[in-house]
Structure 1
Amino acid sequence: MIQIYHNNRCSKSRSGLQILEESGKNFEIVKYLENIPTFDELKTLIDQLGMPPIDLIRKNEAVWKSDYKGKDLSDSDIIEAMIKNPKLIERPIVINANKAVIGRPPEKILDII
């Protein structure tokens, strides 16, 4: 099943959700700010995206700048930071089977649905 990691307060995430709704395909909304992914779930997601964990971080978030920026962090440290502060996770993320994309721009979602 297709999943979207969604934050309703984000315009890009709302646009991504609209693309999925208009596709007519079945999908599940993952409200990752409420149901924070586990370490293993994030690791799997990062593998599906094919990128290092740092590329999934929203680097303009205040908590990133105050608590993490400029520090020597391992991949595990970065994943732990996302668990502790899920708003650091870039959005929207759409997963279909073993592939995932960050919907920025939202039209990138079309590549995997």
Structure 2
Amino acid sequence: MITIYHNPRCMKSRETLALLEEKSEEIKIVEYLKEPPTKQQLKEILAMLGISPAKLIRKTEPDYKNNFKGKDLTDEQWIDAMLEYPKLIERPIVIKGKKAALGRPPEQVLEIL
């Protein structure tokens, strides 16, 4: 089972989903703006990605620019920010088993399949 944290309005997210569908794997699509991850899920995703919360932040989003730009937050504060403003979460995130990858570029997710 593959899980993709997906935003259908994002071209990279749609391209990554199409790539996964070509592989004909069973895919669970989570539209994370409608169903944000829990704090525990977000921590697990970060651990699987092997990155800090700040590295998962979309710095081009207005929510970032208006609320967080120039601020030095702790890991816990960045996680809380992503939970409050899910648009801050970089996308798409693909998970298979205990591995995760960001679909930027989409082909990057092939490493975990």
Shared fold by TM > 0.5? yes
For the aligned pair, the TM-score class normalised by the smaller chain equals: over 0.9
Task: Report the TM-score, using the length of structure 2 for normalisation.
Answer: 0.97
Residues 64-94 of structure 1, C-alpha deviation per residue, up to 9 Å, x if partnerless? 0110111121101000110111011000110
Give the Cα–Cα distance (whole angstroms) in 2 for the partners of residues 30 and 57 of structure 1: 18
One-letter code aligned to 1:64: Y
Q: What is the RMSD computed on CA atoms of the aligned residues?
A: 0.6
Give the Cα–Cα distance (whole angstroms) in 2 for the partners of residues 40 and 69 of structure 1: 25
Residues 5-59 of structure 1, C-alpha deviation per residue, up to 9 Å, x if partnerless? 0000000000000011100111100111001111111000000000000010000
How many residues are treated as equivalent by the alignment? 113
What is the aligned partner in structure 1 of residue 76 from structure 2? 76
One-letter code aligned to 2:52: P
Contact 2:6 2:30 in 1 (8 A): yes
Task: Report the TM-score, using the length of structure 1 for normalisation.
Answer: 0.97
One-letter code aligned to 1:35: E
Task: Give ranges in structure 1 of 5+ residues lacking alignment.
Answer: none
One-letter code aligned to 1:40: Q
User: Aligned residues: percent identity?
Assistant: 53
Task: Give ranges in structure 2 of 5+ residues lacking alignment.
Answer: none
Is it true that 1:46 corresponds to 2:46 in the alignment?
yes
Off by >4 Å, runs of 4+ in structure 1: none
